[in-house]
Amino acid sequence: MLSLKDFIHGPYIKCPKCGKNSFSVSIICDHHYFRRCTECYYPDPSKGEKSHKYSLPKLNKKVIYIDQFAISNMMKFLNPATKSHRKVKGDIFWGKLFEQLHTLCKLQLIICPDSDMHETESLLAPYYESLKRIYELLSHGISFRSHETIKLFQIIGQFNIWIGDIKKYDLNVQDIVSKNINAWQDRLTISINRDNPQSLIEEIRTNRDKVDDYVKDIFIKWQKEKNKDFDYWYKEEKKAEARTLIELYQKNLERLLKMSYGLIPFEPDAVFPGFANKAFYAIKDRLKRKGISEEKEINKKLSEFLYSETFENAPYIKIASMLYAAMTRRAAHQGRKKPPGRGFINDVKMISTLLPYCDAMFIDNECRNLLLEKPLCDDINYGTKVFSLSNKEEFLSCLDEIKQSASEEHMKAVEEVYGLNWAKPYWGIFKQEL
């Protein structure tokens, strides 16, 4: 049975009331914390005793995205219950990476938000709960919003530029995460494991296989496009996003119409607007607020925006289009024979939506290599450091530099709130699974 003592902890100092060395940390808030005695429970609000509040230094955490393959390898390194544990355990890099990431998270210097891509890819793995424990340990309950939500925010931001309300769209990471990044974290995190229906897992697997088949087919087409260069495909990919949104919007409306006439069975998910519908509804609402009331004029303005350069300059469109164009160039002009892996499209989704908001990313070699090619390395310039296994030691050095940059005031505050041994990584996270 839980009691108050379960939620208050050291480091302990002398209690101002009873004099015992039992004045412990009780609540950690974003920028301050409180103490309470484990012996006399001073201060007691019912007795009119004032809380003891202590201020904490401001934080400026680095946002680092860790790709699913790295989450998986760190989990296998730590978890003896997995089949690949012995093999992965032989590569000390994964132990070093976990140690540095978790230490920096506990020192309040970095945060590694999890994403919907982590969730989806983990659902298809045989160790879903173990993978979830690793990415939630490093995210400490902070998640990126879904990639579709981030795309929606960017589209609305670009529309506000196009219509003249703003001059520049601010890519603020705090807008696309679930909690305050620069908050001092509580010692405890609460996670809920839910039962995921097998039908959901099978649907995700089926869609992944369809995407894999699509990539294989389109790669063959790319190989034959010898007369088209990078610029051609880059422009085509950017234009394709508008066409895709319009098709999705029309399909959703058609589905609702058929359901209303009883031509197809009612499906509950149809009443929730999809990504395209949300984007179009938001844009139409803003146009109405601008005094445009006629539906014909609204649709005209919407179309003009979707086929404008401003729309195509949305970060996710620009980045994704460049990655696809670079892969097309490899197929058509650089002699690549093998299509990209089944995770390529998911990787493009993840990179295109999250890269502008991260200080660093650890991704697979292929995508990093694409980002290093011209013109990608020149035009995708959001200041994000990109690492992969091909420069893994540089990543460890980057993490070490973050630790070395911490001020003496910051480190003293960590010790004051969490104690001397707090920064040790959680090596025993899977101990109970032995």
pLDDT band at 434 (very low <50, low <70, confident <90, very high): very low
220-279 pLDDT per residue, tens: 999 998 999 999 999 999 999 999 999 988 888 887 777 777 877 877 666 677 889 999
Please check whether residues 270 and 416 belong to one and the same domain: yes
* Number of structural domains in the chain: 2
Please check whether residues 272 and 192 belong to one and the same domain: yes
Q: Which of 25, 40, 55 is at the close of a domain? A: 55
Among residues 144, 135, 137, which one has the least CA distance to residue 116? Answer: 144
Please check whether residues 37 and 169 belong to one and the same domain: no
Residue 264: predicted pLDDT? 79
Q: Which of 21, 39, 55 is at the close of a domain? A: 55
Please check whether residues 83 and 110 belong to one and the same domain: yes
Residue 433: predicted pLDDT? 46
d(CA 391, CA 368): 10
14-69 pLDDT per residue, tens: 999 999 999 999 999 999 999 999 999 999 999 999 999 999 999 999 999 999 99
Element (DSSP H or E) covering residue 207: helix 198-224
Residue 5: predicted pLDDT? 62
Please check whether residues 372 and 304 belong to one and the same domain: yes
* Higher pLDDT among residues 389 and 9, named by residue: 389
Please check whether residues 167 and 19 belong to one and the same domain: no
Mean of the pLDDT values across residues 321-350? Answer: 92
Residue 310: predicted pLDDT? 97
Q: Is the dihedral of CA 85, 91, 96, 101 positive or negative?
A: negative
Among residues 258, 276, 274, which one has the least CA distance to residue 266? Answer: 258
Please check whether residues 270 and 389 belong to one and the same domain: yes
Residue 269: predicted pLDDT? 67
Please check whether residues 12 and 90 belong to one and the same domain: no
Contacts of 136 (CB under 8 A, 6+ apart): 114, 189, 191
Mean of the pLDDT values across residues 282-286? Answer: 95
Question: Helix, strand, or coil here: 211?
Answer: helix
Please check whether residues 40 and 147 belong to one and the same domain: no
Please check whether residues 153 and 33 belong to one and the same domain: no
pLDDT band at 284 (very low <50, low <70, confident <90, very high): very high
Please check whether residues 148 and 272 belong to one and the same domain: yes
Parent domain of 21: 4-55
pTM summary value? 0.92
Please check whether residues 97 and 14 belong to one and the same domain: no
Residue pair 110/137 in contact (Cβ under 8 Å)? The answer is no
d(CA 71, CA 133): 10
pLDDT over 90 at 399, yes or no:
yes
